[in-house]
Chains A and B, each alone.
Chain A
Amino acid sequence: MQDLLMQFLSNTGFALADYRHFIMIGIGMLFIYLGIAKHYEPLLLVPIGFGILLGNIPVFKGLGLGIYEDNSVLHYLYFGVTSGIYPPLIFMGIGAMTDFSTMLARPMLMLLGAAAQMGIFLTFLGALALGFAPNEAASIGIIGGADGPTAIFLTAKLAPKLIGPIAVAAYSYMALVPVIQPPIMKLLTTRKERLIKMEEPRIVSKREKIIFPIVGFLLCCFLAPAALPLLGMLFFGNLLKECVVCERLALTARNSVIDTVTILLGATVGASTQADVFLTPQSVGIFILGAVSFGVATASGLIFAKIMNLFLRTKINPLLGAAGVSAVPDSARVVQVVGQAEDPTNFLLMHAMAPNISGVIGSAIGAGVLWSFMMN
């Protein structure tokens, strides 16, 4: 009996735990706290936080319990991440809930989304300089696209071992967009520029909204075929929404599908962040580069907007450049808040959605481009 008891106790988490498990559990609890108490991206941080708890309970290897063990439930659920299934489904839901009309009304603002994607490639260079392998550097660079599903999709293809720290970094910084962006926005713009009011956009017809996803998909995927899974699903979801006759499918895509996939993705990505992978000097480098990438992306968008104003007769508010960082709709909201702090009557939110959405498209194209470079 004593032997049985000792055997049982030696298999409990208490016997198997070391300090690193407790650090990760603390991080998981912090994420849950930030999500619930502070409302920082709760739909992402709560599943990821609990996933971290799931993945860092010390278990005896070989029992088929851990996420990296074959035949475990978590491993099967994680398959959707490693095989790149979940991110395109999320993109389909995003397409089904996004109104592209602000972008269609003022196509020029799409260039701000393009400019903000410089954050991806400059971070890629930074990661190479720090000694990361090219495929790892590409996965780290995509954090600068500020798009969680895109980051997970590319990392699953190029550097699956880094999914945990990269996903956590990407989603953490997306949640911190309201903290990271405003100081950069105020630093790089003058008060006079922040006060610029945008012209009312034109009304976009239903036909344009229906034709756009088809035209957009064909153009983008002919240019960057590697972006097909993400952009294809994004535009497909949007077509379901706009064509009206498939409202039931669009409703499912933007509710049940995206919610289900977000739960599974968040929990399994969190569970994959195990201490031996996460608590390494590499992860510290990833986090630092992630913060830098967000800053660079914001700055690129802002500076490009100011350059555009040199050539435009009707000036645009350069704050819109910050919305090119594709954390939809948080960065657009940040632009609204910063703009309204200067002038409460200045409503920039709908205008900021245009670069915001084009940033999503741009980051998917960027991911496709990096993937095709690494495949060669």
Chain B
Amino acid sequence: MLGFEAIIAHNGFAMAALGISIVFSGLAVLSFAISRLYKALVLWDNRHETVKRIRNTLTSSRVRGPRIIVERSDEDQEETVRLYHMLADTLEKPFALPAFLELAVNRGLCHPYSTVNDLIKQGYIQPDGKGFYCWKC
């Protein structure tokens, strides 16, 4: 027996159709489960942070520097440069870049690492050749 006869005799079409469906369904279900897993974990993470934030607001007594909330955008670039210049002025010249970054993080500035990188590339922060940096040396 050959050809379609053989396939029909052995129930081939049904097995192939069912097999493809099972494989497809299995991977589709797995794919769906993975996409939900991520969202479930995000939800779980956010729940902790919300509780922590409420607790911190009620019990925190740590003295902090003034929190500056600035959203980075092209229009506000001058403002960003001015803020970081202000921070640099509070440090000894020349300053250690890690210390400068720590200061920016403590002040609550957004994306301090990439901002400092941009300032270096634009020449606002310059290396002194000895491992330290200064503002437009």
Contact = CB atoms under 8 A, between A and B. Distances in A.
Interface of A: 103-104, 107-108, 110-111, 113-115, 117-118, 120-122, 124-125, 128-131, 134, 137, 202, 204-205, 207-208, 211-212, 215-216, 219-220, 223-224, 358, 361-362, 365-366, 369-370, 373
A294 to B, nearest CB: 17
27 contacts: A107-B34, A107-B35, A110-B27, A111-B24, A114-B24, A114-B26, A117-B23, A121-B15, A128-B6, A131-B2, A204-B38, A208-B37, A208-B41, A212-B37, A215-B34, A216-B30, A216-B33, A219-B30, A223-B22, A223-B29, A358-B30, A358-B31, A361-B30, A366-B19, A369-B19, A369-B23, A370-B19
B27 A205 contact: no
Nearest to A355: B27
Give the interface size class of chain B.
Answer: 20 to 34
B31 A121 contact: no
A174 B14 CA distance: 29
Contacts of B26: 114, 219-220, 223-224, 362, 365
A130 B2 contact: yes
A235 to B, nearest CB: 11
Contact of B7 (A107, A129, A205, A361): A129
Given A121-B19, A128-B10, A373-B19, A365 B27 contact: yes
B131 interface: no
A273 to B, nearest CB: 26
B16 A114 contact: no
A129 B2 contact: yes
A296 to B, nearest CB: 12
Interface of B: 1-4, 6-7, 10, 12-13, 15-20, 22-35, 37-38, 41
A110 B37 contact: no
A114 B27 contact: yes
A128 B5 CA distance: 9
A122 B16 contact: yes
A121 B16 CA distance: 5
B5 to A, nearest CB: 9
Contacts of B2: 129-131
Contacts of A131: 1-2, 6
A108 to B, nearest CB: 6
B6 to A, nearest CB: 5
B23 A124 contact: no
B133 to A, nearest CB: 29
Given A104-B38, A205-B41, A110 B30 contact: yes
Given A219-B33, A369-B23, A124 B41 contact: no
A95 to B, nearest CB: 15
- Most interface-central of A103, A113, A117 (chain B CB within 10 A): A117
A120 B33 contact: no
A104 B12 CA distance: 34
